[in-house]
Amino acid sequence: MIGLVIKSVGNLYTVKSDNLLYKCNYRGKNKLDNNFSNPIVSGDEVEFDLIDKENGIIDRVLERTNCFIKRSLKDKKAHIIASNVDQALIIASFKNPYTKLNFIDKCIAGSFYYNISPIIVFNKVDSLSNREIKKLDDIIKIYNEINIKALKISAKKNLYIEELEYILKGKKTLLLGNSGVGKSTLINKISKVSNQKTDVLSSKTGRGKQTTTFSEIFEIDISGTVTDTPGFKDFYFFDIDKSSLQFLYPEFKMRDKCKFKNCLHKDEPGCSIKESLGIEVNEKRYNNYLSILSEIT
């Protein structure tokens, strides 16, 4: 049978097929598995055999259209966050907690690399003072100027949620964000079911919510899906190399004018990106580019 993995907790997968749910394990042991800390992820289409009415065994993963990969800090292997998605919603928060722009920029670059359109929302706008909102608007402008959708919302107070739902409608969206930014709160607002299941499952495995490898797909009320992922504070790229990073910056269009063909736009002479600082290229974005570049080995 063929089905869609809608939830993964450790080595246990929930597979949906013809509107029925099956609990499945994975049998496959192909060579690919060695590079990945998790061979299967929510969003995967899989072929599986039934053991009984409710349980099955996954034989193989069908080819993915895309997947978002980070490097696992534990074993340096690839950790797939989700697969087969249209867009990534980067959920940030200006206060409690403060999301670093460096993290947002890393999520954007990763999304572009894996052919996923990035969108940014700043949640918890209800808790900001007018002065803070003004500061946030300046940040939002940075992204809007390079044609990346960025908006502010309040999941708790229902502010601008309709605007967001319009963006999510009919799409498969991956949620990215630090923990505590309001992913679960948002999902409860826009999806057909509340996410109480997360708690049930993590208590079953006896592991804390934070440490369980976990992703789950929720259906949005008005159509479309969102994939919840464990919040992570920071992450490292798995397969993006130094020379590719610049192509993930839409505003670096003038890179062809650099003196050196292999310019990394760090401190090379005649660098057109450095000459564009404060004009086409925002300095904060550029500084984060340098910091992300230095992390890549």
Ligand X SMILES: Nc1nc2c(ncn2[C@@H]2O[C@H](COP(=O)(O)OP(=O)(O)O)[C@@H](O)[C@H]2O)c(=O)[nH]1
Report the residue from 184, 225, 227, 272 that binds Mg ion according to the rule CB under 5 A: 184
Report the residue from 24, 148, 187, 273 that binds Zn ion according to the rule CB under 5 A: 273
Tell me whether residue 118 or residue 177 sits nearer to ligand X (CB atom): 177
Q: How many residues bind Zn ion (CB under 5 A)?
A: 5
Which segments of the chain are extended strands (E)? 2-9, 12-17, 20-26, 45-50, 55-61, 67-71, 78-83, 87-93, 117-123, 150-152, 172-176, 214-219, 225-228, 236-237
* Residue 127 binding ligand X, by CB under 6 A: yes
* Residue 265 binding Zn ion, by CB under 5 A: yes
Q: Provide the 3-class DSSP secondary structure of residue 240.
A: coil
CA 292 to chain centre: 17
In the complex, what is the shortest distance from the CB of residue 258 to Zn ion, in angstroms, rounded to a whole number? 3
Q: Are strands 117-123 and 78-83 parallel, antiparallel or unpaired?
A: unpaired
Q: What are phi and psi of 122, to 5 degrees?
A: -100, 110
* Residue 288 binding ligand X, by CB under 6 A: no
In the complex, what is the shortest distance from the CB of residue 57 to Mg ion, in angstroms, rounded to a whole number? 30
Tell me whether residue 3 or residue 177 sits nearer to ligand X (CB atom): 177
Whether residue 212 contacts residue 230, with contact meaning beta carbons closer than 8 Å, is answered with: yes
Place of tokens 């009984």: 52
* Residue 164 binding ligand X, by CB under 6 A: no
* Residue 179 binding ligand X, by CB under 6 A: yes
Rounded Cα–Cα distance for residues 97 and 32 (Å):
37
Rounded Cα–Cα distance for residues 245 and 22 (Å):
40
In the complex, what is the shortest distance from the CB of residue 202 to ligand X, in angstroms, rounded to a whole number? 13
In the complex, what is the shortest distance from the CB of residue 292 to Zn ion, in angstroms, rounded to a whole number? 16
In the list Mg ion, Zn ion, ligand X, none, the entry touching 154 (Cβ below 5 to 8 angstroms by class) is ligand X
Tell me whether residue 70 or residue 265 sits nearer to ligand X (CB atom): 70
Binding site for Mg ion (CB under 5 A): 183-184
Return residues touching Zn ion (CB under 5 A).
258, 263, 265, 271, 273
